[in-house]
Amino acid sequence: MLENFSFGLGLVTAIVLIIMLANKLKVAYPVLLVIAGLILGFIPGVPILHIEPELIFIIFLPPLLYEAAWSISWKELWRWRRIISSFAFVVVFLTALSVAFVANYFIPGFSLALGFLLGGIVSPPDAVSVGAIFKIVKVPRTLSSILEGESLLNDASSLIIFRFALIAVATGQFIWYEAALDFVWMIIGGIGIGLLLGLIFRKSQKYLPTDANMDIVLSLVAPYLMYIIAEHVHSSGVLAVVSGGLYLSNHRHSFLNSASRVRSVNVWESLCFVLNGLVFILIGLALPEITAGLEGVSIYNAIGYGVLVTVVLIVGRILSAYGAVIVTMIARNFITVAETTNPGFRGPFILGWSGMRGVVSLAAALSIPINLDDGTPFPQRNLILFITFVVIFLTLTIQGLTLPVLIRKLKIPSPPQKFTEEEIHNRINQQLAEIALNNLNSNYNEQLKTLPLLQQMATKWQAGINSSDDVKMTKEIEIIYREILNNQRQWLIQKNKSFELLDEEIIRRHLYRLDMEEEKLRLM
């Protein structure tokens, strides 16, 4: 036990060093982590970190999905809802269907049910890998928004396919009307449970006397509770976490104070940093055990099957990306669509090429039970695990290493903007300063005449500076400043709700700055 604990600590340290190296080389860190795990796995004496299959989803998925739901822009999610929904549901289903038929035809002993199981496992792209690449190479916000939104929903759709296929393999039958009812319940039940628990957490944290530490602990409990309860009643735990996370994220300023918001960002970034690092290095570490379990299939044939499935996935996604563009161009003649200009061939190709597989595929594959209910071994389990590993490894290395080069070479044009990002920041700063000055002149005109410190702050706002640096506040001025910060915050929130073509990330940066200003008051 102590040996495994020491190995775990060493593994976390290695993850940090590998990510530092990836940043230095300007390579997406999931690629290096998988390669490092692969090398470590074949070193004699390295212990195998075995996690029970039923715990895979519970350990990794809830917090990673929850953090993604808090980070994504609801405005962008709604704006690109049609293409996101098509990729998250239609494309995932068509991908699983394609893999099912190819596996059934080319892989000996693979039924259609096993093919669908494999298709459900490998169909969802991994957002972490793409996000790591987009930090290296800048792409238009449109593309990153679509991929972020897709990643939130495609996990749910792929895992629904995975669950139905698992039942079909175990029972040997598939009753379509029962499956249809179960499908509806999984979606409605998952979303409903997530929203209900989100409402309970929101009200509890708003009216109970919690502090920042308690709020952070409750935020860590929330995704696990949403997932476990939804899965217990046979609905979608993924949709529960996503819907609950989106609801709480959208209302964060109504039940969390500035201290809770600022500190929770650091906690969640650190937690997801470790979880993402562990899961990618575990992909590589798992290979020796998976390879040893291959029975009756040569390693070369197994690799060939993995390459075949990878080609199906890559080609299918690229064709789907261009198909989505064609559908959008036709639909804009009849309905209002988010993209009114012709995207050309470059954007869809990058969207299609951004299909690396990772966390969810590994978790799904490892969660396949070792035995069926009657005690017989689950058919083709180790071959499915091996093919999944090959797909993850090839997409991460081939697509992951070439995607930054393609983005630079293709030079995807950003949509025309009336103002640059710097100009937008300056305009917002100017408007926030005007809000502060109007508040002072309307409510604190007498204090403005008698308090020199307040006059000093007013001079800063007149210059367009929104900061309390170098101002030693009395209690009276602190109360006034808190009120001004709250008015500025409410203006930003309303500005964000207007659905103007204003990047929500810019609004969030200004909101975070206001939270930091309020935190400085607490530390004075």
Give whichever of 97-101, 109-113, 193-197, 330-334 has the largest mean pLDDT: 193-197
Residue 519's CB: how many other CB atoms inside 10 A? 16
Please tell me the predicted confidence (pLDDT) of residue 419. Answer: 67
| pLDDT exceeds 80 at position 135 | no
**64 closest CA partner among 13, 131, 116, 10:** 131
Where would I find the beta strands (DSSP E) of 225-308? none
pTM above 0.95, yes or no: no
Q: Give the residue extent of every domain in the chain.
A: 52-252+289-410, 421-523
Say which CATH class 52-252+289-410 falls into.
mainly alpha
| pLDDT exceeds 70 at position 471 | no
Residue type, 222: A
Residue type, 270: S
Higher pLDDT, 437 or 203: 203
For 32-70, write each residue's pLDDT tens digit.
888 888 888 777 777 766 666 566 778 888 998 898 888
Both tokens assigned to 40: 């470590």
* 71-85, 301-315, 328-342, 400-414: segment of lowest average pLDDT: 328-342
For 327-351, write each residue's pLDDT tens digit.
766 666 655 555 555 556 777 888 8
For 371, list phi and psi in degrees, rounded to 5: -125, 155
Give whichever of 320-324, 341-345, 414-418, 433-437 has the largest mean pLDDT: 433-437
Angstrom distance (rounded) from CA 155 to CA 439: 47
| pLDDT exceeds 60 at position 82 | yes
How far apart, in Å, are the Cα atoms of 45 and each of 4, 11, 42, 497?
12, 14, 9, 56
Angstrom distance (rounded) from CA 502 to CA 1: 52
Give the three-class secondary structure for 371: strand
Please tell me the predicted confidence (pLDDT) of residue 381. Answer: 86
Both tokens assigned to 6: 């020491």
Instruction: State the chain's mean pLDDT as an integer.
Output: 82
Name the maximum alpha-carbon separation found in the chain.
Answer: 89
Angstrom distance (rounded) from CA 500 to CA 494: 11
| pLDDT exceeds 90 at position 226 | yes
